[in-house]
């Protein structure tokens, strides 16, 4: 099992987990898509993710945040996980990584 001496190592693991979650309508993971605004980890290994959706009417608005929370909770050393949804700022294609834009033929 990996050692977590600080929040940075755990943060990297959380990001790896986030990169395994895909938007069902777009073949790009939610991290590269720019839906993750912040990952906060305290000294007790409580994780909070601030994220958005591609639109307020997103069909996965109910299930995607729960999937994110469950996958983060599956990391052995995570004590608790919470996902907060925000639409400020609203998501736009500008938030996508170069990798995501390339994958979607936008470059």
The domain ranges of the chain are 7-101
Query: Do you know the residue count of the chain?
Result: 107
pLDDT of residue 6: 54
User: Following DSSP, what letter does each residue of 39-53 receive, concatenated?
Assistant: EEE-TT-EEEEEE--
Res 4: pLDDT: 52
What is the pLDDT averaged over residues 38-48? 95
pLDDT in tens, 67-95: 999 999 999 999 999 999 999 999 999 99
The confidence score (pLDDT) of residue 58 equals 82
- How far is Cα of residue 13 from the mean position of the Cα atoms in its chain? 11
6 within 8 A of 44, measured Cβ to Cβ: no
Round to whole Å and give the CA distance between 61 and 63. 6
Residue 7, pLDDT > 70, answer no
Its CATH class, for the domain covering 7-101, is: alpha beta
d(CA 34, CA 8): 20
pLDDT value, residue 8:
63
In the block, tokens 């990584």 appear at 97
pTM of structure: 0.88
């Amino acid at each position: 099992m990996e050692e977590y001496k600080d929040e940075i190592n755990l943060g990297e693991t959380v990001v790896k987990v986030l990169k395994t979650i895909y938007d069902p309508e777009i073949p790009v993971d939610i991290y590269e898509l720019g839906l993750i605004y912040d990952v906060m980890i305290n000294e007790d290994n409580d994780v909070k993710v601030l994220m958005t959706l591609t639109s307020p009417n997103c069909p996965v608005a109910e299930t995607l945040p729960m999937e994110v929370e469950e996958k983060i909770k599956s990391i052995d050393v995570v004590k608790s996980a919470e996902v907060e949804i925000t639409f400020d700022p609203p998501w736009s294609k500008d938030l996508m990584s170069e990798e995501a834009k390339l994958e979607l033929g936008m470059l």
